[in-house]
Amino acid sequence: MKKLQIVTEIEELTYDELTAEDRGLIDRAKSMTRTSYVPYSHFHVGAALLMANGEIVTGSNQENAAFSPTMCAERNAAFQAGALYPGVAMKKIAIAAWTMNGHEEGTPYELCFQGQPISPCGVCRQALLEYEAAYGTIEVLLYGRERILRFPTVASLLPYCFTEF
């Protein structure tokens, strides 16, 4: 028997350490949280994808009374990007979450963004991975007020992943 390790190197950054491009993308993800349809969770998620052609494609989570049709922000953005710009690589995705849950009424708007970054769910990782495998690496920027995390690839968030059959 041989033990193996899966090691992922990621970066922790402050907002000030970001490039102007990354700041812009995070700002788009943050502003997309205003468009979430979240009558059930009240948890707003926004995503912004920078395409290789320079376009930015955005998405937000959209919920449903039947629950399972609910669509996450990340997949919403990725599928929209796939449909708008078929064959174009997705360079990076920024993700941010905002909620009043757990905050007193009157809490300043900005403070309702999550302190710690939220990470895409397993289904969204798999969905993004498909485009990464097809068109090239997608960097993942997870926004939190207290810290921002940068993953170099989607595969680094989904080790030992399934891409071929």
Q: Based on CB atoms, which residue is closest to ligand THU, 20 or 127? A: 127
Please tell me which residue in 74, 104, 130, 139 is annotated as part of the active site. Answer: 74
Long-range contacts of 8-16 (CB under 8 A, 24+ apart): 8/151, 8/156, 8/157, 8/159, 9/152, 10/149, 10/150, 10/151, 10/152, 10/156, 11/149, 11/150, 12/147, 12/148, 12/149, 12/150, 13/147, 13/148, 13/149, 13/150, 14/147, 14/148, 15/148
- Biggest CA pair distance of the chain: 58
> Least distance in Å: CB of 87 to ligand THU?
26
> Least distance in Å: CB of 37 to ligand THU?
8
> Least distance in Å: CB of 162 to ligand THU?
19
Name residues whose C-beta falls within 8 Å of residue 135's C-beta, 6 or more positions apart in sequence. Answer: 52, 87, 88, 89, 90
Q: Based on CB atoms, which residue is closest to ligand THU, 52 or 100? A: 100
- Catalytic site includes residue 74: yes
Q: Based on CB atoms, which residue is closest to ligand THU, 111 or 121? A: 121
Q: Based on CB atoms, which residue is closest to ligand THU, 18 or 78? A: 78
Q: Which residues bind ligand THU (CB under 6 A)?
A: 38, 41, 43, 45, 61, 63, 70, 72-74, 118, 120-121, 124
> Least distance in Å: CB of 24 to ligand THU?
21
Known catalytic residues are 74
